């Protein structure tokens, strides 16, 4: 055997174990380096030397230094990390809304209770100016509470918008670094003759891990080792060494809410907000779309319902000066806008025609050249609108309590947005400042003539249309006041009565049949001759010929609390959600909904966090540095290195002995 082969074997061992010692030291040094994967030297025996006595070993070769990396475990970590950050962001933001709405002092419930307590107090003493002032003060407190909550939610909208912009900026920066590392990895691989640059690969994987915390990603590895990153529904964020930026910007058709747009290679921005899922960015978007905006819409609907129903009842009463009531609150109107991309010059107006049918949803209306389609943006349900009046303007039959009107005919492809309740809470205001203007009294009085001989009775009048000329012809009076007189001859079935103008004693309508045997009473208006003065009264019992009943305007209702009682009853009356919910019920629905969503996000975050820890443990078992194991390896390679040195020393001794023998 050639004596030099012993040297080669020893040297190869020294080189191999030196590499192992260096790699082990590298592992130990990076035990706390985030994203570092444990490395291992791959050794193979050199090609043996053939001889007549068989093959003779020729030492060891270092093939490569391989990082301990499990692609499946890494993908699991990224997926769980994206989900955990998604629910963490959603939970963190939702808790802020939940804490505000459920706060017994800061929420709407306490202000609503205080207001209706003061309305009840007014009904107990309708002539009291202090009681009226308390009611106005609490009404302003209710308005201020709506305004404060809406302003606070607006601040959260700004926070969400800023968060979108910031996270998008972080995503773009990470994408740029990943693309740069793709280039560095290709260059390093070329310089090393195709050997993997492990530390660069770790750095790239760590950046992708960080990216997955911000947005859900899909990774595709090319044959040359570059990795492409895709987001959303397959939009490429990193292609080799190139990047396509995301942009966080104000939505052109909804400037209050920011959107995420994708930059095409030609520079065109394409909205991809609805395609974003996972990560912090997905969590912010879900919070805004499913917690924040619905909360604003719920508050807006509640303010609209309070304003409309309270106004309607207030206008059916009489104030201290004997005048019909006016609007107590400003009635917010739905917001309707045309898309900035529309070609036509038409405008859209929306009105609430049924407050009980009003939802908290928002809508998009499209015109395709023939049909108008209304899309509910909450559930994507589509309704083909039917025309009630062909106009112009065109008026559509109501949908969800909304009547939509459009001027002119739009151009095919034009789009319109209807947000019925979003900004209503900020528009909600108190109109009445003078306590005398509170209409606590009922507008009409009914009476029975003292000469009546029968047992018939007349109930209190109920106003159904305060715009009727009977109320508006001469403000503060009934035009005309009426007398109901039962006709001669004596008792007959059916009996008849006449309606007479109490001022002129001129009959308005005569010979109206009355059945005294009816168990359900008799409605006076509208009459068989279609006389209708905008109020309803009922007669009951058995009258006698000549019996009279009177209806007049309530000109001296200072101590009258009839309308105040009706106003107070609105607190528990079913005025919302199909007539099945009171104001408190509707607000409680909002509080419960946000609370449930917040709690669910907490549960999901905890579950995903547990799964993330499991996935990290699996990856760590493959890629993590174990100091005990590395210490054992260090000792093993140190001993092996010393043994290889002994091989060289032995070879040298043999060589020296041989040389000495030759010199003799």
Q: Determine the Cα–Cα distance for residues 25 and 249; give it in Å rounded to an integer.
A: 49
CA distances from 189 to 36, 185, 193, 199, 576 (A): 19, 6, 6, 12, 69
- Whether residue 126 sits in one domain with residue 83: yes
Mean pLDDT in residue range 645-656: 82
Residues 560 and 318 sit within 8 Å (Cβ to Cβ) = yes
Which pLDDT belongs to residue 45?
A: 87
Number of Cβ within 10 Å of residue 258's Cβ equals 25
- Whether residue 274 sits in one domain with residue 142: yes
Who's near 88: CB < 8 A, 6+ residues apart?
280, 283, 605
Which pLDDT belongs to residue 491?
A: 54
Which pLDDT belongs to residue 346?
A: 86
Q: Determine the Cα–Cα distance for residues 361 and 301; give it in Å rounded to an integer.
A: 10
Is residue 190 a part of any domain in this protein? yes
Question: Which of residues 511, 533, 553 is at a domain's end?
Answer: 553
Which pLDDT belongs to residue 517?
A: 82
Q: Determine the Cα–Cα distance for residues 426 and 304; give it in Å rounded to an integer.
A: 11
Which pLDDT belongs to residue 492?
A: 58
- Residue 572, SS3? coil
Reported as a pLDDT band with limits 50, 70 and 90, residue 391 is confident
Is residue 434 a part of any domain in this protein? no
- Whether residue 103 sits in one domain with residue 31: no
Query: Of all helices (H) and strands (E), which one includes residue 573?
Result: none
Residues 305 and 421 sit within 8 Å (Cβ to Cβ) = no
Which pLDDT belongs to residue 490?
A: 57
Which pLDDT belongs to residue 657?
A: 80
pLDDT tens for residues 455-485?
999 998 888 888 899 998 998 889 999 999 9
Q: Does 652 have pLDDT greater than 90?
A: no
Q: How far apart are the first and last CA of the chain?
A: 22
Which pLDDT belongs to residue 659?
A: 77
Mean pLDDT in residue range 376-396: 90
Query: Can you give the pTM of this predicted structure?
Result: 0.87
Q: Determine the Cα–Cα distance for residues 67 and 134; give it in Å rounded to an integer.
A: 76
Is residue 637 a part of any domain in this protein? yes
Mean pLDDT in residue range 493-508: 91
Which pLDDT belongs to residue 206?
A: 95
Mean pLDDT in residue range 507-525: 89
Number of Cβ within 10 Å of residue 560's Cβ equals 19
Which pLDDT belongs to residue 534?
A: 93
CA-CA-CA-CA dihedral for 472, 474, 478, 479, to nearest 10: -90
Q: Determine the Cα–Cα distance for residues 272 and 363; give it in Å rounded to an integer.
A: 19
Q: Does 350 have pLDDT greater than 80?
A: yes
- Whether residue 406 sits in one domain with residue 448: no
Which pLDDT belongs to residue 576?
A: 94
- The per-residue DSSP string of 227-259 comes to EEEEETTTEEEEETTEE--EEEEEETTEEEEEE
Which pLDDT belongs to residue 460?
A: 87
Q: Considering all CA atoms of the chain, what is the largest pairwise distance in Å, rounded to the nearest integer?
A: 169
pLDDT tens for residues 313-339?
999 999 999 889 999 999 999 999 999
Tokens coding 470: 């009977």
- Whether residue 256 sits in one domain with residue 395: no
What residues pair up with 286 in beta bridges, in sequence order?
Answer: none
- Whether residue 363 sits in one domain with residue 285: no
pLDDT tens for residues 551-605?
999 988 888 999 999 999 999 999 999 999 999 999 999 999 999 999 999 999 9
* Angle between helices 198-214 and 279-287 in degrees, nearest 10: 0
Which pLDDT belongs to residue 485?
A: 95
Tokens coding 265: 């290679």
Residues 7 and 648 sit within 8 Å (Cβ to Cβ) = yes
What residues pair up with 486 in beta bridges, in sequence order?
Answer: 497
Which pLDDT belongs to residue 434?
A: 96
Query: Of all helices (H) and strands (E), which one includes residue 589?
Result: helix 583-623
pLDDT tens for residues 40-62?
998 998 888 887 778 888 888 88
Who's near 592: CB < 8 A, 6+ residues apart?
none
Sign of CA dihedral 14, 16, 22, 25: negative
For 321, counting Cβ atoms within 10 Å of its Cβ (0-12 exposed, 13-18 middle, 19+ buried), the class is: exposed
Q: How many domains does the chain have?
A: 4
- Whether residue 215 sits in one domain with residue 101: yes
Q: Determine the Cα–Cα distance for residues 426 and 455; give it in Å rounded to an integer.
A: 54
Q: Does 377 have pLDDT greater than 80?
A: yes
Q: If you count DSSP H runs as helices and E runs as strands, how many of each does the chain have, helices first?
A: 12, 28
Which pLDDT belongs to residue 1?
A: 38
Q: Determine the Cα–Cα distance for residues 40 and 203; give it in Å rounded to an integer.
A: 18
What residues pair up with 64 in beta bridges, in sequence order?
Answer: 42
Is residue 470 a part of any domain in this protein? yes
Mean pLDDT in residue range 150-167: 96
- Whether residue 235 sits in one domain with residue 123: yes
Tokens coding 545: 């010929």
Q: Determine the Cα–Cα distance for residues 215 and 220; give it in Å rounded to an integer.
A: 16
Q: Determine the Cα–Cα distance for residues 21 and 630; give it in Å rounded to an integer.
A: 10
- The single-letter DSSP state of residue 289 is I
Find the angle CA(49)-CA(55)-CA(57) to the nearest 5 degrees: 65
- Whether residue 350 sits in one domain with residue 222: no
Least confident segment among 180-184, 296-300, 554-558: 554-558
Is residue 559 a part of any domain in this protein? no
- Whether residue 291 sits in one domain with residue 224: yes
pLDDT tens for residues 57-89?
888 888 888 999 999 999 999 999 999 999 999
Reported as a pLDDT band with limits 50, 70 and 90, residue 3 is very low
Question: Which of residues 352, 385, 420 is at a domain's end?
Answer: 420
Q: Does 656 have pLDDT greater than 90?
A: no
Tokens coding 359: 């939802």
Which pLDDT belongs to residue 664?
A: 62
Mean pLDDT in residue range 125-136: 96
Mean pLDDT in residue range 649-662: 79
- Whether residue 365 sits in one domain with residue 449: no
Structural domain boundaries, residue 548:
444-553
Least confident segment among 45-49, 501-505, 535-539: 45-49
Is residue 565 a part of any domain in this protein? no
Is residue 312 a part of any domain in this protein? no
- Whether residue 58 sits in one domain with residue 154: no
Mean pLDDT in residue range 253-279: 93
CA distances from 400 to 141, 173, 336, 391, 588 (A): 31, 45, 15, 22, 21
pLDDT tens for residues 404-442?
999 887 899 999 999 999 999 999 999 999 999 999 999
Q: Determine the Cα–Cα distance for residues 317 and 294; give it in Å rounded to an integer.
A: 35
Which pLDDT belongs to residue 4?
A: 43
Which pLDDT belongs to residue 563?
A: 94
Is residue 484 a part of any domain in this protein? yes
Tokens coding 612: 């993330």
- The per-residue DSSP string of 116-166 comes to HHHHHHHHHSTT-HHHHHHHHHHHHHHHHHHHHHHHHHHHHHHHHHHHHHH
Who's near 309: CB < 8 A, 6+ residues apart?
355, 570, 573, 575
């Amino acid at each position: 055997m050639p004596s030099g082969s012993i040297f080669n074997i020893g040297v190869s061992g020294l080189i191999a174990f030196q590499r192992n010692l260096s790699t082990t030291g590298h592992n130990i040094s990076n035990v706390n380096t985030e994203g570092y994967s444990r490395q291992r030297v791959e050794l193979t025996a050199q090609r043996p030397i053939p001889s007549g006595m068989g093959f003779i070993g020729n030492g060891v070769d270092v093939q490569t230094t391989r990082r301990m990396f499990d692609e499946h475990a890494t993908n699991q970590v990224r997926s769980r990390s994206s989900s955990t950050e998604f629910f963490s962001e959603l939970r963190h933001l939702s808790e802020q809304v939940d804490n505000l709405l459920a706060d017994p002092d800061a929420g709407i419930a306490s202000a609503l209770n205080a207001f209706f307590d003061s309305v009840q107090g007014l009904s107990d003493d309708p002539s009291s100016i202090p009681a009226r002032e308390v009611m106005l003060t609490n009404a302003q407190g209710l308005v201020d509470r709506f305004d404060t909550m809406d302003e606070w939610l607006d601040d959260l909208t700004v926070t969400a918008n800023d968060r979108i912009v910031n996270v998008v900026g972080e995503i773009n920066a990470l994408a740029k670094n990943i693309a740069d590392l793709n280039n560095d990895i290709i260059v390093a691989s070329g310089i090393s003759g195709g050997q993997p640059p492990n530390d660069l690969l770790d750095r790239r994987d760590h950046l992708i891990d960080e990216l997955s915390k911000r947005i859900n990603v899909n990774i595709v590895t090319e044959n040359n080792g570059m990795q492409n990153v895709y987001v959303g529904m397959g939009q490429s964020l990193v292609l080799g060494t190139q990047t396509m930026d995301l942009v966080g910007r104000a939505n052109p058709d909804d400037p209050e809410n920011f959107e995420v747009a994708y930059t095409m290679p030609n520079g065109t921005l394409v909205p991809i907000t609805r395609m974003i899922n996972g990560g912090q960015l997905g969590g912010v978007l879900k919070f805004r779309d499913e917690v924040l905006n619905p909360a604003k819409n719920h508050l807006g609907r509640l303010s609209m319902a309070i304003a409309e129903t309270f106004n309607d009842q207030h206008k059916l009463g009489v104030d201290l000066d004997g005048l019909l009531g006016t609007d107590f609150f400003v009635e917010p109107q739905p917001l309707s806008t045309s898309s900035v991309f529309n070609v036509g010059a038409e405008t859209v107006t929306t009105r609430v025609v049924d407050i009980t049918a009003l939802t908290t949803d928002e809508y998009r209306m499209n015109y395709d050249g023939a049909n108008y389609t209304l899309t509910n943006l909450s559930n994507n349900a589509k309704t083909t609108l039917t025309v009630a009046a062909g106009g112009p303007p065109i008026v559509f039959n109501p949908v969800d309590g909304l009547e939509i009107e459009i001027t002119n005919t739009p151009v095919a492809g034009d789009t319109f947005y209807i947000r019925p309740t979003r900004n209503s809470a900020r528009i909600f205001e108190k109109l009445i400042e003078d306590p005398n203007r509170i209409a606590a009294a009922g507008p009409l009085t009914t009476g029975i003539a003292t000469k009546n001989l029968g047992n018939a009775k007349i109930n209190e009048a109920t106003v159904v249309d305060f715009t009727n000329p009977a109320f508006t012809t001469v403000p503060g009076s009934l035009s005309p006041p009426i007398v109901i007189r039962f006709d001669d001859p004596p008792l007959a079935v059916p009996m008849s009565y006449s309606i007479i103008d109490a001022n002129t004693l001129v009959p308005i309508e005569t010979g109206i049949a009355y059945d005294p045997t009816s168990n359900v009473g008799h409605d006076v208006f509208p009459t068989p001759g279609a006389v209708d003065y905008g109020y309803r009264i009922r007669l009951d019992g058995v009258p006698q010929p000549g019996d009279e009943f009177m209806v007049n305007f309530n000109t001296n209702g200072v101590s009258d609390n009839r309308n105040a009682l009706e106003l107070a009853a609105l607190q528990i009356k079913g005025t919302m959600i199909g007539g099945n919910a009171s104001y408190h019920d509707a607000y409680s629905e909002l509080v419960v909904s946000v609370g449930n969503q917040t709690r669910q996000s907490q549960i999901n975050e905890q579950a995903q966090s547990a799964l993330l820890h499991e996935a990290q443990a699996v990856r760590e078992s493959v890629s993590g540095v174990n100091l005990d194991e590395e210490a054992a390896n260090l000792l093993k390679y140190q001993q092996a290195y010393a043994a290889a040195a002994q091989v060289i020393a032995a070879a040298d001794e043999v060589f020296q002995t041989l040389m000495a023998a030759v010199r003799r």
